[in-house]
């Protein structure tokens, strides 16, 4: 049987009636931009994360850019972020006007290297921007230790980590601000683009609301140089229907990952290893990447083609680390500068992962990988 990379139709089928009614209610209400549906979802999502304020944005990238700006980050300040992330993290920093400082990742988890982060911190550091990549949080206690008494903003990119937990903390609740994406395939996704900025600070929330709305704290009065980036009412209504199911869906992802871990364990000697889970049940597995060490019989790309020929869809997250992207050459980083990020870009392969994926599908994927790895 063909196995998709994600299966949104399967996810939505049991709640389709509820979603249809929520959309119909917005259509009847007529407030398509800003209004009750958005406010209600912002409250519900902020409460779920245990944070005072949620500000819905047009996408996660804007939630990073405008969120950083709302926290006072801008020109003249440095923001430290990992090279191993989706490029949107970097875009957010650049759009805020700050100077991005990249660091390598831990090769076992793919997450930001905190020793390098500590070493990169200096007088110009305005913020550190850990990315809870693949659904796993960067260690909260270590992050809080890094910023304690330093006057440095802690901003989480939680675009892949809705309701993830580690060391008793929930993603988005650690520091000064956090950004989430509601791109359709995210753990909590809408029917189009969407994002949200979370913050504990009243003033940053008010500024973010202004920035997303042309910089106007009240109509036609532009106190800030803002833009237009609101989470649509229809998206907010759909997300509000899906939010109560999120924890269960995340548990299903975590259980599927445990099954993959067990099925793939015999392939470790053949060079196939999952990324390491250091947060147990708190890892929400937005993605399930395996590391494929190349040998004379196969490498990541050959394994991907073999799976594709059997109808098994996979992904690569991400094929080019941020510091090697042509648009950001002027940052001055070179090949070989972040060896772990570069190795993972060549070796990671993300396997099918979605709530409701069956054991039969997981077994089929593992068998197909074993056939290549064991020859
Ligand atoms: C780690 C990370 N950061 C930021 C984003 C940006 O979110 P969006 O696509 O909603 O702009 C994404 C998702 O695309 C992401 O995966």
pLDDT grade for 239, boundaries at 50, 70 and 90: very high
Rounded to the nearest whole angstrom, what is the distance from the C-alpha of residue 182 to the centroid of ligand 1? Answer: 8
Ligand 1 centre distance from Cα of residue 91 (Å): 10
**Given ligand 1 and candidates 57, 59, 60, 195, which is best to mutate, with the most ligand atoms within 8 Å of its CB?**
60
Rounded to whole angstroms, the Cα distance separating 4 from 312 reads 6
For residue 331, pLDDT beyond 90: yes
pLDDT tens, residue by residue, 117-168: 999 999 999 999 999 999 999 999 999 999 999 999 999 999 999 999 999 9
Contacts of 314 (CB under 8 A, 6+ apart): 5, 304, 307, 308, 349, 350, 351, 352
138: three-class secondary structure by DSSP: coil
3-state SS assignment for residue 349: strand
What does DSSP assign to residue 3?
B
- Phi then psi for 151, rounded to 5 degrees? 65, 25
Task: Check residue 325 and give its pLDDT.
Answer: 98
pLDDT of res. 141: 98
C-alpha pair distances (Å), 232 with each of 10, 23, 194: 24, 11, 8
**Total-model pTM:** 0.98
Note the pLDDT of residue 375: 86
Confidence at 26, pLDDT banded by 50, 70, 90: very high
Ligand 1 neighbours, Cβ below 6 Å, are: 59-61, 85-86, 88-89, 131, 157, 159-160, 181, 183, 193, 195
- Give the pair of three-digit tokens for residue 308: 């594709």
Q: Please give the distance, rounded to the nearest whole angstrom, from the Cα atom of residue 179 to the centre of ligand 1.
A: 9
The model's pLDDT over 174-219, given as tens digits with 9 standing for 90+, comes to 999 999 999 999 999 999 999 999 999 999 999 999 999 999 999 9
Average pLDDT over residues 58-68: 98
Structure confidence by residue, pLDDT tens digits, 4-14: 999 999 999 99
Whole-number Å distance, alpha carbon 63 to ligand 1 midpoint, is 9
Q: What is the pLDDT of residue 371?
A: 98
Q: 87 CA distance to ligand 1 centroid (A)?
A: 8
Query: What are 258-279's pLDDT values in tens digits?
Result: 999 999 999 999 999 999 999 9
Alpha carbons 103 and 112: distance in angstroms, whole number:
7
φ and ψ at residue 121, rounded to 5 degrees = -75, 135
Dihedral sign for Cα 362, 368, 372, 375, please: positive
Nearest-Å Rg of the Cα atoms of the chain is 21
Phi-psi region of 41 (alpha: psi -120 to 50; beta: other; left: phi over 0): alpha
C-alpha 110 to ligand 1 mean position (Å): 16
**What's residue 317's pLDDT?**
98
Ligand 1 atom nearest 181 alpha carbon: 10
Query: How are beta strands 125-128 and 153-157 bridged, if at all?
Result: parallel
Mean pLDDT calculated for residue range 313-325: 98
Residue nearest to atom 12 of ligand 1 (CA): 159
Q: Is 183 helix (H, G, I), strand (E, B) or coil?
A: coil
Give the span between the Cα atoms of 342 and 268, in whole angstroms.
21
């Amino acid at each position: 049987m063909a196995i998709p990379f994600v299966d949104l139709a399967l996810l939505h089928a049991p709640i389709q009636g509820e979603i249809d009614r929520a959309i119909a209610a917005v259509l009847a209400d007529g407030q398509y931009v800003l209004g009750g549906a958005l406010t209600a979802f912002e409250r519900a999502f902020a409460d779920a994360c245990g944070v005072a304020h949620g500000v819905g944005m047009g996408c996660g990238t804007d939630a990073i850019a405008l969120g950083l700006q709302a926290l006072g980050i801008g020109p003249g300040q440095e923001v430290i972020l990992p090279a191993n992330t989706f490029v949107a993290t970097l875009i957010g920093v650049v759009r805020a006007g700050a100077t991005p400082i990249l660091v390598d990742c831990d090769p076992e988890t793919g997450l930001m290297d905190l020793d390098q982060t500590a070493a990169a911190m200096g007088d110009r550091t305005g913020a550190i921007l850990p990315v809870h990549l693949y659904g796993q949080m960067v260690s909260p206690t270590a992050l809080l230790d890094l910023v304690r008494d330093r006057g440095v903003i802690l901003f989480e990119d939680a675009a892949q980590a809705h309701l993830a937990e580690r060391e008793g903390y929930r993603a988005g609740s650690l520091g000064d601000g956090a950004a989430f994406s509601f791109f359709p395939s995210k753990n909590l996704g809408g029917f189009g683009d969407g994002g949200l900025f979370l913050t504990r600070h009243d003033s940053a929330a008010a500024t973010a609301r202004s920035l997303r709305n042309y910089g106007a704290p009240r109509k036609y009065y532009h106190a800030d140089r803002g833009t237009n980036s609101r989470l649509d009412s229809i998206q907010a209504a759909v997300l509000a229907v899906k939010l109560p199911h999120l924890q269960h869906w995340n548990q299903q992802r975590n259980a599927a990952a445990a099954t993959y871990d067990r099925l793939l364990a015999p392939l470790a000697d053949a060079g196939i290893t999952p990324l390491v889970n250091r947060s147990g049940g708190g890892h929400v597995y937005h993605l399930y990447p395996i590391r494929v060490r190349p040998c004379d019989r196969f490498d990541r790309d050959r394994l991907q083609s073999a799976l594709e020929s059997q109808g098994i869809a996979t992904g690569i997250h991400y094929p080019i680390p941020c510091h090697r992207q042509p648009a950001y050459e002027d940052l001055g980083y070179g090949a070989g500068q972040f060896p772990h990020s570069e190795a993972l870009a060549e070796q990671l392969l993300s396997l099918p992962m979605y709530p409701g994926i069956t054991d039969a599908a997981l077994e089929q994927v593992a068998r197909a990988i074993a056939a290549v790895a064991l020859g």
